[in-house]
Amino acid sequence: MKKCTLHLAVGALVFLATSQTLSAAPCGSGTLAQIVNTTCSIGNLSFTFSNFNSFVDHTDLNNNYVRSSIDPSSILFQSVVNGNSQGIALTPNWSDAPSSNQWFYSGHGINFYYTVTALNGTGIIGQSDQIVGSIGNASDTGSISSFDQQNYYLDPWCCGFAAYTSVNYTNNLGSYNEPYLAVSYSDFGVGPQFASDPTNPGWHALNSFAYTTQTATLQSETFLYYTQSATPEPSTAVLTLTGLAGAVAMFRRRLSL
C-alpha cells in the first residue's frame, strides 16, 4: 500500500492601503463557531468573518446520494501569534474512507467569507499557508484542497486575486503534492499593504474527498500574515504572483461601489 504524507499551501495576496489604529476584541481560541459572523483581532490584524457554509456527503453503492451540513463547532480554531506572524489555525480532522462504509464516494467541505485589516500602524508584508493531510493509497482518486480569494478596490472595474492549490492522487495519473507557500512582498518590489476590500469580502474554502478504496484525510490548516511597522503609501500597490504554489490569478470585474 502506498502511503503519501501531504502538505499543501495556498495564498491569495492582495490588500488595499490604509492602516487602522482601532482594535476589535481578540479572536481567542476554541471552535470555528465562535468567530463566524464576527470581527475580532489576532496580533496586529483584524479579521471579519461571515457566511459560513458546509457539507458532508456520500454516495452509496446503489448511487443514492446523501448530503448534510458540518457544525462549525466541530472544527477547532486557534489564534496564532509568533513574532511578526499572526493568523489562524483550523483543525477539521476530516477522514474520507468510502469503502469502510460500503460507499462509492464521500466528501467534506466548508467555506466562509472574510476580510483582513492591519492595525496599530503596521502593514502586511507577506503571507504563508499550509494544509496538512494524507492520501492513503494508490487505488483510486482522492483529494484535499484549499482555495483562497481576496478582493481589493482600485477602481469600479477592478480587481480580485484567486489562488487554488490541491493535493491529490488520481488513478493512472499519479499524485500531485505542493507542500508549502511563503511569500515576502518585497521580493516582488511591493511595499506593506494595509487592508483587503471591506465591501467585497474574500472567500476561503477547504475540501476533501475520496472514491471507493481510496482514503483522504485533512488534518489542519494554518494561514498566517506577516506584519511590520509601516507608513501608508500614497497609492495602492498591487501584487501579482505566478508560478508558486498551485495557480494564482488576477481577474478584473466590476466591484460594488
Owning domain of residue 234 = 4-252
Asked if the structure places residue 201 within a domain, the reply is yes
Asked if the structure places residue 142 within a domain, the reply is yes
- Tens digit of pLDDT for each residue in 205-257? 999 999 999 999 999 998 888 899 965 443 333 333 333 334 444 444 443 43
Asked if the structure places residue 192 within a domain, the reply is yes
Strands (E), 185-235: 202-211, 216-229
Q: Which residues of 42-75 are buried (b: 16+ CB within 10 A; e: fewer)?
A: bbbbbbbbeebebebbbbeeeeeeeeeebebeeb
Total structural domains within the chain? 1
Q: Of the ranges 60-74, 157-171, 192-206, 208-222, which one carries the lowest mean pLDDT score?
A: 157-171
**Residue 238 burial (CB < 10 Å; 0-12/13-18/19+)?**
middle
Asked if the structure places residue 243 within a domain, the reply is yes
CA distance 80 to 29: 9
- Tens digit of pLDDT for each residue in 125-149? 877 878 899 988 888 999 988 887 7
Name which residue leads in pLDDT, 108 or 230: 108
Asked if the structure places residue 257 within a domain, the reply is no
